[in-house]
Amino acid sequence: MTLSKAADIRFKVAPGGPLAGRLRVPGDKSISHRSIMLGSLAEGHTVVTGFLEGEDSLATLSAFRAMGVQISGPDAGKVQIEGVGLQGLQAPAAALNLGNSGTSMRLMSGLLAGQAFSTMLTGDASLSSRPMKRVVGPLTMMGARIDASDGGTAPLRIHGNATLAGIDYDMPVASAQVKSSLLLAGLYARGQTCVSEPAPTRDHTERMLTGMGYPVQRSGNRVCIEGGHTLHGIAIDVPADISSAAFFLVGASIAPGSDLLLAHVGMNPTRTGIIDILQQMGADISVLNERDVGGEPVADLRVQSAPLHGIDIPPRLVPLAIDEFPVIFVAAACAQGRTVLTGAEELRVKESDRIQVMADGLQTLGIDAQPTPDGMVIEGGTLGSGCVGSHGDHRIAMAFSMAALRAQGEVEISDCANVNTSFPGFVEQACQAGLTIKATRV
């Protein structure tokens, strides 16, 4: 069924069963967002295939339409953008509502800081509770004028006609969204904008800028751009999202008898922490048919069931798997022994407090899961049955859906409408792979 936010959606998932066959999960959300943003700012025509038709990406698309960009589609994942150039955006007639999408709000804050017009960015209740000071602070250092709530959250009012100047910014916490926001502001800034990160984060923005002919300088953990150059429209083939594939990587690993092929998955080295972590836990994942598509590495992933064991998750892998930890926690619950995560305080300010919400749900299902300020300690055990809350967080809902594969009885998950933000068609694809899952309106 097509999920809608008009009503609460509950998932009911029956226990057991292997996952098998071949799936191509929807397109990468991070790349889909950036294709709209940079395609709109480019000179000429950009054609996007494999675009993620989820609510988050569509919010970005709608925002740029509201700023005068001609965009056709999406039609079966194809989007065509008539770029207006760096100076061609127009003032929207109303506030830009970005729904649940933190990526849209943080990246667009940088992009809009250099425009001649003012804009208001709003979002749903979840987005309006997420911290924005991490981008507002350094953007203000560049000369941007942005008003936020007293708590540093949305709505954000971005004042036009600000004069931006490049800065050299050392990020205190690794964040691709902060890095990308500053680089997008740097397109409009005098001089050079440089960002240094304490650990590698996804580099889709840098890759796409380079692909569109905009000079980017990279050295170690530092990336720099200068204002005043031009973006050129290109063809962009969006690979399948490894964050969406992650649910099936874990599901097939923990469900006995599974043998599943995930096709055309993006293998950007800043995103493959999920594979490294699962393999360290004993997962049987083969990387096949490696290739390069439009500057992004892509491969097919074959995953077969295997006994997992607990590990201390290496700190260097944390930023490379930050979005996948809800389902990694499920893998840890099904593993033999203890799994320890540290250095992941970022999880507490996602669509939900993913540390606390996952710990609560796992405890409901009978697992010893102890939250810590920056992670969790999980003792592998036997999953029972019960009803858990996703708190409107799409990744929580899908993670607990996979947990049912090893549960003793039915797992019911509440508040699942937001699955459509990142994975439209999740229920159908999960059923196709072998999960017995039903979505019902409440």
Q: What spatial distance separates the first Cα and last Cα of the chain, rounded to whole Å?
A: 14
- Select the more confidently predicted residue: 307 or 173: 307
| pLDDT at site 421 | 86
Domain boundary pick from 207, 237, 267: 237
**Percent of the chain surpassing pLDDT 90:** 93
Asked if residue 333 is part of any domain, the answer here is yes
Asked if residue 143 is part of any domain, the answer here is yes
Asked if residue 3 is part of any domain, the answer here is no
Asked if residue 1 is part of any domain, the answer here is no
Domain ranges, residue 98 = 29-237
Asked if residue 384 is part of any domain, the answer here is yes
Together in a domain, 57 and 113:
yes
Domains contained in the chain, number? 2
Domain boundary pick from 202, 237, 272: 237
Q: Flag whether pLDDT at 1 surpasses 90.
A: no
pTM of the entire predicted model: 0.89
Together in a domain, 224 and 252:
no
Q: Flag whether pLDDT at 294 surpasses 80.
A: no
Angle subtended at Cα 45 by Cα 39 and Cα 51, rounded to the nearest 5 degrees? 55
Encoded amino acid at 31, one letter = I
Domain boundary pick from 214, 237, 260: 237
CATH number for the domain that contains residue 61: 3.65.10.10
Together in a domain, 287 and 342:
yes
Structure tokens at 404: 């049912």
Provide the CB-side half-sphere exposure for 277 (13 A, CA): 32
Asked if residue 2 is part of any domain, the answer here is no
Q: Average pLDDT in the 301-330 region? A: 97
Together in a domain, 232 and 344:
no
Q: Average pLDDT in the 206-233 region? A: 96
Q: Average pLDDT in the 56-85 region? A: 97
102 — pLDDT class (breaks 50, 70, 90):
very high
| pLDDT at site 370 | 98
Together in a domain, 128 and 209:
yes
Q: Flag whether pLDDT at 5 surpasses 50.
A: no
Q: Flag whether pLDDT at 62 surpasses 50.
A: yes
Structure tokens at 101: 């999408």
Is 323 part of the annotated catalytic residue set?
yes
Average pLDDT, the chain: 95
Structure tokens at 390: 């996703």
Q: Flag whether pLDDT at 420 surpasses 90.
A: no
Together in a domain, 246 and 215:
no
Together in a domain, 312 and 398:
yes
From the list 323, 353, 368, 374, the catalytic residue is 323
CA–CA separation, 71 vs 62, rounded Å? 9
Q: Average pLDDT in the 82-101 region? A: 97
Q: Flag whether pLDDT at 341 surpasses 50.
A: yes
Encoded amino acid at 75, one letter = D
375 — pLDDT class (breaks 50, 70, 90):
very high
| pLDDT at site 7 | 61
**Percent of the chain surpassing pLDDT 70:** 98
Together in a domain, 248 and 310:
yes
User: For 118-127, what is each residue's pLDDT tens digit?
Assistant: 999 999 998 9
Q: Phi first, then psi: give them for residue 142, nearest 5 degrees.
A: -80, -10
Together in a domain, 409 and 315:
yes
Together in a domain, 304 and 213:
no
Question: Which of these, 133, 71, 122, 68, lies nearest to 100 by C-alpha position?
Answer: 122
| pLDDT at site 93 | 97
Q: Average pLDDT in the 293-310 region? A: 94
383 bridge partner residues: 407
101 class by beta-carbon count within 10 Å (0-12 exposed, 13-18 middle, 19+ buried): buried
SS (H, E, C) the chain: CCCCCCCCEEEEECCCCCCEEEECCCECHHHHHHHHHHHHHCEEEEEEECCCCCHHHHHHHHHHHHCCCEEEEEECCEEEEEEECCCCCCCCCCCEECCCCHHHHHHHHHHHHCCCCCEEEECCCCHHHCCCHHHHHHHHHCCCCEECCCCCCCCEEECCCCCCECCEEECCCCCHHHHHHHHHHHCCCECEEEEECCCCCCCHHHHHHHHCCCCCEEECCEEEEECCCCCECCEEECCECHHHHHHHHHHHHHCCCCEEEEEEEECCCCCCHHHHHHHHCCCEEEEEEEEEECCEEEEEEEEECCCCECCECCHHHCHHHHHHHHHHHHHHHHCECEEEECCCHHHHHCCCCHHHHHHHHHHHCCCEEEEECCEEEEECCCECCEEEECCCCHHHHHHHHHHHHHECCCEEEECCHHHHHCCCCHHHHHHHHCCCEEEEEC
Together in a domain, 145 and 253:
no
Asked if residue 204 is part of any domain, the answer here is yes
Asked if residue 418 is part of any domain, the answer here is yes
User: For 29-59, what is each residue's pLDDT tens digit?
Assistant: 999 999 999 999 999 999 999 999 999 999 9
User: For 265-288, what is each residue's pLDDT tens digit?
Assistant: 999 999 999 999 999 999 999 999
Together in a domain, 180 and 293:
no
